[in-house]
Amino acid sequence: MSLNDYILEKPTLETPRLILRTMTAADAPDLREWTPNKALYKFWGKNPGKADKNPELMFAAPVKPTKSFHWGVLCKADSKVIGEVWVYLIESDRMAKMAVRLSEQYHGRGYATEALRTVVRFCFEKTELKRLWADVDIRNKASCRMLEKCGFVQEGMIRQGKMVSMWCDYYLYGLLKGNGGFMLDCIRERDGNNGLF
């Protein structure tokens, strides 16, 4: 499989507690419960936009074919979309940026880590991507811990750089598929390779 195989139809991924899937207009009520929350944007690099305040706007325009991924994170226990994961800014089918956000109500339960590990495995096992990266406001200790639990390495710090539309100090994190599969094996060890794909 390659990124080209997913341009028109995105896969659904599953973990013991979560389902990651393409969102639809039917998910707007779930999103409305948490995407307008200003506290969620403290380290996000921007304030809530129109679609964050009115999630139904996310589904107003037709979906364009793309190699990028945008999953809603559905909590099986509540049957609600409680977060989002992105894989985007794909360069030469080799490198991509990742982002994760979760409803504040569900922080601290390991859901974001569980979702991220699953997406990392998908990217490295089912696409040709070799490097994943993320940027994180240095004050966002929880996101730094989440990335490190998933094998990401802090590669440097940008001082007073522009992160989305805000100026701040932020870390760059990266994760490589290489080294004989060592990084991927570490993720499997920590999360258990339970045949999700």
User: Could you read off the pLDDT tens digit of each residue along the chain, which spans 197 residues?
Assistant: 899 999 999 999 999 999 999 999 999 999 999 999 998 999 988 889 999 999 999 999 998 999 999 999 999 999 999 999 999 999 999 999 999 999 999 999 999 999 999 999 999 999 999 999 999 999 999 999 999 999 999 999 999 999 988 999 999 999 999 753 435 555 555 555 443 43
pLDDT at 193: 47
Domains of the chain: 3-191 (3.40.630.30)
Give whole-number Cα distances, 88 to 91, 96, 98, in Å.
Answer: 9, 6, 6
pLDDT at 190: 53
In contact, 173 and 147? CB cutoff 8 Å: yes
pLDDT at 196: 43
pTM above 0.85, yes or no: yes
Place of tokens 């096992």: 125
pLDDT at 192: 53
Q: Tokens representing 102?
A: 């979760």
pLDDT at 46: 87
Rounded CA-CA distance 80/126 in Å is 27
Beta-carbon contacts of 123 under 8 Å, excluding residues fewer than 6 positions away, are: 87, 96, 129, 132
Rounded CA-CA distance 167/59 in Å is 30
